[in-house]
Amino acid sequence: MKTKFLLLMIAIAIFSTQCKKGNGTGNNGGGNDNDTITKLDPVETDAANTNYPPAFSGQTRTFGIKTYTPLKVDILNSTLSNPWGIAILPDGRLLITQKAGTMVILSSSGVPEHTISGLPAVNAGGQGGLLDVALDPDFSNNRMIYWTFAQNVSGGTLTAVAKGRLANSETSIESATVIYQAMPAYNGTLHYGGRLLFDNQGYLLVSTGERSDLATRPLAQALNNALGKILRITKDGQPAPGNPFQNTTGALPEIYSYGHRNVQGMALDKLRNVLWETEFGPLGGDEVNMIQPNKNYGWPVITYGLEYSGATIGGGITQKAGMEQPVYYWDPVVSPSGMIFYHSDYIPEWKDNLLIAALSGSHIVRLRIVNNKIAGEERLLTGQGQRFRAIAQSTNGMVYIVTDQGRLYRITKQ
Ligand SMILES: [Ca+2]
């Protein structure tokens, strides 16, 4: 009898372990054969713009998922002016960039405290302006911050990276210095990319765009320029050690990956050291990519989108040897902007998921990841009528979001 009881307990223990594995919320690494999540209808119900077939099952319009944790959504502030990027200070307050060229500091409950002006001049036309901001990994000691912006230079504009020290008064940046310029300049105000974050080695990852026009598009495929790339640089703007093309003749040594259109979302899965990226497609074909150094992400040779006229792009192909497939794509587009890889246990259902701020989609995308594929999509904050621009997570797992209309949202648990 005792033996039977013991065996039963062991069986329960094993079953319990298996269930935990099967319910893995993110699980980039291990297997996940017991996928017990409730699979709903795909969230997208509108007609696609193209009839391109996906490269694999689940690459677009995966099944829908739902968050069951009761959430509380607060609008903490409605007076921001075209906010673009968010960094959360070590004390939980928010440092937010505004497109026209200022930063603001708000309390963790959204009360404005300081406005920071006097930054190097930005070109705020079109999609330009003051873009993203990132804190130095050693910010608590050195108060250094890094930001991206559209800069006027000879020959047009470009995506630039600057750094400086946040003054103790929190009303200015001391010793502001431009550390990197993504060349060549171009006379236009579209597709600057501009997302900025630190990798696990303490180097800056910077995204750029290909400046949109037919004339500049092919530069995304060439390694002799910084357009349509993800770049990896030191805090002084130099190519980071270990970059993939540092020994390639004619290639810029700061290039990390290439063949991108307009990358406005980057997020690091710090635990597994995986870089996730979103980029805007044309008519259809917004992408989520898992970025590996030296890889070619295809634009403008392969794409799941069309020209806005409806014409095909390039040869009208979606796959080519030597070019990476997006992990996921949207048609019609949602305009994916800022993104986080949600690390916290605070909202357990979201752990190891991607949360993406969608502009034209007017919602927050939640993507569940299983074995480096997307397995489940949810739309959050629908019906708000907002263009969601940037998203950040506090160390305790609360989520902050800003919109083009000037709102600051916070998501907590009820
Ligand atoms: Ca691509």
Give the SS3 label for residue 179. strand
DSSP class per residue in 43-107: S--SPPS--PPPSSTTSSS--B----S-EEEEEEES--SSEEEEEE-TTS-EEEEETTTEEEEE-
The answer as to whether 26 is a domain residue is no
Whether the Cβ atoms of residue 160 and residue 190 lie closer than 8 Å to each other: no
The answer as to whether 321 is a domain residue is yes
Tell me what the mean pLDDT of segment 102-117 comes to.
97
- For residue 292, which amino acid is it? Q
Q: What is the pLDDT of residue 307?
A: 96
**In the predicted structure, residue 67 carries a pLDDT above the cut 50:** yes
- For residue 296, the CA-to-ligand 1 centroid distance in Å is 8
Residue 34's pLDDT band, with cuts at 50, 70 and 90, is: low
CA dist 197 and 214 (Å) reads: 29
The rounded percent of the chain whose pLDDT value lies above 90 is 91
Write the CB contacts of 362 (distance below 8 Å, at least 6 apart in sequence): 382, 384, 385, 386, 387, 388
- For residue 59, the CA-to-ligand 1 centroid distance in Å is 12
- For residue 321, the CA-to-ligand 1 centroid distance in Å is 13
CA dist 230 and 248 (Å) reads: 17
From 18-22, 116-120, 125-129, 165-169, the region with the lowest mean pLDDT? 18-22
- For residue 43, the CA-to-ligand 1 centroid distance in Å is 22
- For residue 286, the CA-to-ligand 1 centroid distance in Å is 9
Q: Is 343 a catalytic residue?
A: no
Token look-up 């099952």 returns 57
- For residue 14, the CA-to-ligand 1 centroid distance in Å is 42
Residue 15's pLDDT band, with cuts at 50, 70 and 90, is: very low
**In the predicted structure, residue 215 carries a pLDDT above the cut 70:** yes
**What's the number of domains the chain is made of?**
1
The answer as to whether 276 is a domain residue is yes
Write the CB contacts of 123 (distance below 8 Å, at least 6 apart in sequence): 129, 150, 151, 152, 157, 189
The answer as to whether 5 is a domain residue is no
Average per-residue pLDDT in the chain?
93
Residue 341: count other Cβ atoms within 10 Å of its Cβ.
Answer: 23
- The residue from 191, 260, 343, 363 that is catalytic is 191
Q: What angle do CA 369, 271, 166 make, to 5 degrees?
A: 110
Write the CB contacts of 128 (distance below 8 Å, at least 6 apart in sequence): 99, 122, 149, 150, 157, 189, 192
Domain that holds residue 178: 38-413
The answer as to whether 178 is a domain residue is yes
- For residue 294, the CA-to-ligand 1 centroid distance in Å is 14
CA dist 219 and 295 (Å) reads: 15
Residue 16's pLDDT band, with cuts at 50, 70 and 90, is: very low
Query: For 326-383, what is each residue's pLDDT tens digit?
Result: 999 999 999 999 999 999 999 999 999 999 999 999 999 999 999 999 999 999 999 9
Residue 25's pLDDT band, with cuts at 50, 70 and 90, is: very low
**In the predicted structure, residue 7 carries a pLDDT above the cut 70:** no
Query: For 238-279, what is each residue's pLDDT tens digit?
Result: 999 999 999 999 999 999 999 999 999 999 999 999 999 999
CA dist 261 and 197 (Å) reads: 19
- For residue 303, the CA-to-ligand 1 centroid distance in Å is 6
CATH assignment of the domain containing 243:
2.120.10.30
Residue 37: count other Cβ atoms within 10 Å of its Cβ.
Answer: 18
**In the predicted structure, residue 145 carries a pLDDT above the cut 70:** yes
Query: For 305-317, what is each residue's pLDDT tens digit?
Result: 999 999 999 999 9
The answer as to whether 18 is a domain residue is no
Q: What is the pLDDT of residue 35?
A: 74
| H/E element, 20 | helix 2-22
- For residue 69, the CA-to-ligand 1 centroid distance in Å is 34
- For residue 297, the CA-to-ligand 1 centroid distance in Å is 4
Whether the Cβ atoms of residue 263 and residue 207 lie closer than 8 Å to each other: yes
**In the predicted structure, residue 22 carries a pLDDT above the cut 70:** no
DSSP class per residue in 123-151: --STT-SEEEEEE-TTHHHH-EEEEEEEE
The answer as to whether 115 is a domain residue is yes
Q: What angle do CA 151, 156, 160 make, to 5 degrees?
A: 25
- For residue 407, the CA-to-ligand 1 centroid distance in Å is 31
**In the predicted structure, residue 29 carries a pLDDT above the cut 50:** no
The answer as to whether 19 is a domain residue is no
